[in-house]
Structure formats: C-alpha cells, structure tokens
Amino acid sequence: GGTAVADTADVTDPAQVAAMVAGALERWGRIDILVNNAGILRDKSFGELALEDFRAMLEVHVLGGFHAAKAVWERMRAQNYGRIVFTTSSTGLYGNFGQANYATAKAALIGLMKVLDQEGRKNDIRVNILSPTATTRMTEALLPEEDRALLDPADVTPGLLFLVSAEAPSGVMLCAGAGCFARAEVVETAGIYLPPEDRSPETVAQRFNEISAPEGAATLPNAWAQTKKYVALAREAQKNRSGKS
C-alpha cells in the first residue's frame, strides 16, 4: 500500500544528496525517517590495501551517512520529530580479516550515531544503528550455500522498522540476522585506581586482570561520564588512603 520513488543520487556527493532530499520534500511534504544503508566492499589484507580503496570506503559509508543525515537534520529539528538509522556491521564491532577499510568505516558510524543520539533528543530525533547480516550482492560470494537461505534480508526488516517507529529507542545498536535479534553494547570495566608510586607499566601488567574484570562493567552515557567516573574513583581512593594514614 505504500509509494516508492527510486533515486540514483551518489551519496558521496552532498549536492546530489540535497537534491534527493528536496525531491522527497516536494513529493511528500516532510521527511520523518532516514535509513543510511549505502555501502560497498573492497576487501584486501592490510598489507595489500591501497589508499584509494580505504578512502572510497570512508567516502561511501561515513561521508555518505553524514551527507544524508546533514541534509535532513534541520528539517527534523524544525518539525520536532525524526528517526535516523545508520548501518554498521559485525566487522565494525568485532573485526574481520581482510576488511580493515570496511571495519574502520562501520565503526566510525557508531561514533556518529552516539553523538546524534545526544544532540537530537530535545527535538525527538531518535538515532540508532543496525548491524544486519543477510544474503545480499555484497555477501553472497562470502557465504556458504547452505547458509544463504537462512539469511533472508527480509528477516532483518522487523528490527529496522522498530528502530524507525514512533516508539523507537535511541542510541541503540541492534543486531539482526536469520530471524535472530540481539543488542550490542560498548561497555567499560569498573577499573582500578593506582596511587602515584604505583603508576608504572609494570603495575598495569601485574594488575591487568583486575583492570579487565567484568564485574561492575557498564555502558557509559557519554564521554564526560568516563572522566567523572575516574575523578570519583581517584577521590574515593585518596580519601581512603588519607584515612588510613
């Protein structure tokens, strides 16, 4: 029951992206949802990776997503409503041999999503990121034949539609594939405080298991939360040391 219009704009060209957005506004009068899904693959091991292949990946994935989000941002702010989804990858989250350029681009989009989530909140612009796995033209040559039937792109769609709905969360990394859904998080361990006399690489090495301990690990709401956490940890440790002395 919907209506769709194809547009062949090159997402690496901000003028073409702006024209695409203008065309959508002219036809429908408003833009409520943006899904940044443009992508390419140019897989090579890092030693064989050419600068032009690295740059092309950033141009399409990162700048392509930036140009499209930038083109709709002020419109969404003015109407106090918007839903934006970027597309990352398990490669950006966890790495994959031969995909240094792809991983870098997909990880960069996570950072962009995290910032736009914070900046869009006061205008009800909810920004999320989807990490899909499916049989597509980009992946079919990489997947075993017996897996392809299980990885129908349509099985990712429910997750995407949730992320762009009126009830959508914001700042979420949703993973989807083969009918499975999971949520990825960037977490930081509780950490430890080292007094001045122990601040050496040797002490870090000796206590690395404590530094890495998963107990108390948490997702931080923003960058300053990390700074505040460290300051609080240091103050508490210093207070305890003063009390003992």
Residues linked to residue 188 through DSSP beta bridges, in sequence order: 218
Structure tokens at 181: 């859904």
* Residues noted as catalytic: 102
Tokens representing residue 66 in the block = 């930036």
For the chain, give the longest Cα–Cα distance: 75
Structure-block tokens of residue 108: 């960069």
Distance of CA 220 to the CA centre of its chain: 15
Q: Which DSSP category does 138 fall into?
A: T
Torsion of CA 23, 28, 32, 36, to 10 degrees: -30
CB of 165 closer than 8 Å to CB of 83: yes
Q: Cβ contacts of residue 183 below 8 Å, gap of 6+?
A: 172, 173, 174, 175
Q: CA-to-CA distance for 23 and 202, rounded, in angstroms?
A: 61
Radius of gyration over every alpha carbon of the chain, rounded to an integer in angstroms: 22
How many angstroms separate the CA atoms of 81 and 230, rounded? 36
Give the number of other Cβ atoms within 10 Å of residue 4's Cβ. 5
